[in-house]
Amino acid sequence: MDKLYEGKSKIVYEGTEPGTCIIKYKDTATAGNGVKKEDLPGKGLLNAKISNLIFDYLAKNGVKTHLIEVLDETSVLVKKADIVMVEVIVRNVAAGSFSKKYGVPEGTKLLNTVTEFSLKSDELGDPMINDCQITALGVATQAELDELKAVSLKVDQLMSELFLKCGIKLIDFKLEFGRVDGELLLCDEISPDSCRLWDAETDEKLDKDRFRRDLGNVLDGYRDVLARLEQAI
Ligand code: UDP
């Protein structure tokens, strides 16, 4: 298979049909823009399964995604998209960089859902960027940004409902989108690597913060999320 790109946690290959790619999930965990790096055997499989379940659920609820077919336990066939070079971050509860930047204790419920954009650039450390700056740089149009925000809020509603059924609070998450034939599709993955997920009763962290903050038993959290999702869906 022709490798198109190797990222921190996934490899992208040319697909079998024109206009497709194969994404393979790796076991590597990274944080702090790749400064902290470790191999966690089994992570790729867990993230692939969790992400596929969520993408399926979102598609059934009217969200357009890049996913065509699950190929095996760590690989999916997807539509080849022109990736929009911004990440959309959605926050329901203060945590992580938001808490640090604005001096708000982690766990503070936000009065409204927050959407933010970061420029996708490892070199620059994914800096936060606003609508005006994005359109000025020609990274996306205002119409695209409006749609990205609307779809991201819909994803937030759908995922919050799903996770609540699992006894999990959806604190925040990151989404990526791509253009295919003039349409915006949800791309990349949705997993404990890209979401903050806290147990609804105990606030125990079940996500990548276990790795980022050296809390231990990283994959036990991911396994717990998968088991609960499989029961709820
Ligand atoms: N996130 C991500 N990739 C990134 C940055 C953030 O998946 O490059 C996710 C992260 O897991 C969290 C949410 O986006 O669920 C918000 O992250 P935040 O801005 O608080 O950054 P962090 O504290 O992770 O540096």
Alpha-helical (H) ranges within the chain are: 43-60, 96-102, 131-136, 142-165, 209-212, 218-232
How far apart are the C-alpha atoms of 170 and 160, rounded to whole Å?
6
Helix (H) or strand (E) holding 39: strand 36-39
The answer to whether the CB of 152 is under 6 A from ligand 1 is no
What confidence score (pLDDT) does residue 195 get?
98
Position 34 scores a pLDDT of 85
The average pLDDT across 89-97 equals 98
Tens digits of residue pLDDT in 20-55: 999 999 999 999 988 999 999 999 999 999 999 999
Angle between helices 218-232 and 142-165 (to 10 degrees): 90
Q: What is the CA radius of gyration of the chain?
A: 17
What is the model's pLDDT at position 144?
98
Which amino acid type is present at position 46?
L
Say yes or no to pLDDT of 3 above 90.
yes
Atom 10 (ligand 1) nearest CA: 194
Tell me 226's DSSP state.
H
Question: Which pTM does this prediction carry?
Answer: 0.97
Beta carbons within 10 angstroms of residue 97's beta carbon = 14
| Cα atoms in the Cβ-side hemisphere of radius 13 Å centred on 209 | 16
Q: Is the CB of 97 under 6 A from ligand 1?
A: yes
How many other β-carbons are positioned within 10 Å of the β-carbon of residue 222?
A: 27
Distance 93 CA to ligand 1 centre (A): 13
Q: What is the secondary structure of 159-211 as a DSSP string?
A: HHHHHHHTTEEEEEEEEEEEEETTEEEEES--STTTEEEEETTT--B-STHHH
Report the nearest-CA residue for atom 25 of ligand 1. 97
Q: Give the tens place of pLDDT for each residue, 162-221.
A: 999 999 999 999 999 999 999 999 999 999 999 999 999 999 999 999 999 999 999 999
Rounded CA separation 46/162 (Å): 18
> What is the pLDDT at residue 165?
98
What is the C-alpha to C-alpha distance for residues 227 and 222, in angstroms, rounded to an integer?
A: 9
